Amino acid sequence: MSETPSNPFELMMQQARDMAKAMNPALEHFSPKGFEQLWPTMPKDVMELWFGNKVNTEGLDAKTRLLLTLAGLTMQGAQNDSAVRQTVKHAVEAGARKQEIVETIGQMSFFAGIPAMSRALELAQEAMADKEEDQP
């Protein structure tokens, strides 16, 4: 027999799991991290075209834009695990070095606090480890 959740958020999450299980038993084991595998990392040229300075030649390049995005996600408390991991993977593909990623996140500790920075660093390390495993 399962224990009744003690707070409203836990109760809501339990109800969502129960509903998903009733609709499709396979959803009981759904993982957002597994969902990330459906979205491959874009090639650097594509990122430059969409997010970089191919159209606006005087604008920011894709790497800088992605580092700014990572800073913003950290400022929000690194609450969206998938978004942080995907942004880190794309930043690496766009040419960001590990040091630049760590410094971007570290800089946000002054504004977002140590817990947000720590969470973002943890997620970034996961993403960079995943990226290293993907390479031959």
How far is the C-alpha of 21 from the C-alpha of 23, rounded, in Å? 6
Of the candidates 29, 49, 43, the one whose C-alpha atom is nearest the C-alpha of residue 94 is 43
Burial 21-37 (b: 16+ CB within 10 A, else e): eeeeeeeeeeeeeeebe
Q: How many angstroms from the chain centroid is the CA of residue 92? A: 13
Of residues 28 and 110, more confidence is placed in 110
pLDDT value for 10? 76
Q: Is the pLDDT of residue 102 over 90?
A: yes
Write the Ramachandran bin of 77: left for phi over 0, alpha for psi from -120 to 50, otherwise beta: left
Q: How deeply is 84 buried, as exposed, middle or buried, from its count of CB atoms within 10 A (0-12, 13-18, 19+)? A: buried
| 46 or 66, higher pLDDT | 66
Q: What is the CATH number of domain 32-134?
A: 1.20.1290.10
pLDDT of 17 higher than 60? yes
84 pLDDT above the threshold of 90: yes
Distance CA 36, CA 122 (A): 17
Considering only residues 72 and 20, tell me which one the structure prediction assigns the higher pLDDT. Answer: 72
Residues 43 and 93: beta-carbon distance below 8 Å: yes
Which of these, 55, 56, 80, lies nearest to 70 by C-alpha position?
80
Residue 131, exposed/middle/buried by CB under 10 A (0-12, 13-18, 19+)? middle
Rounded average pLDDT over 3-14:
73
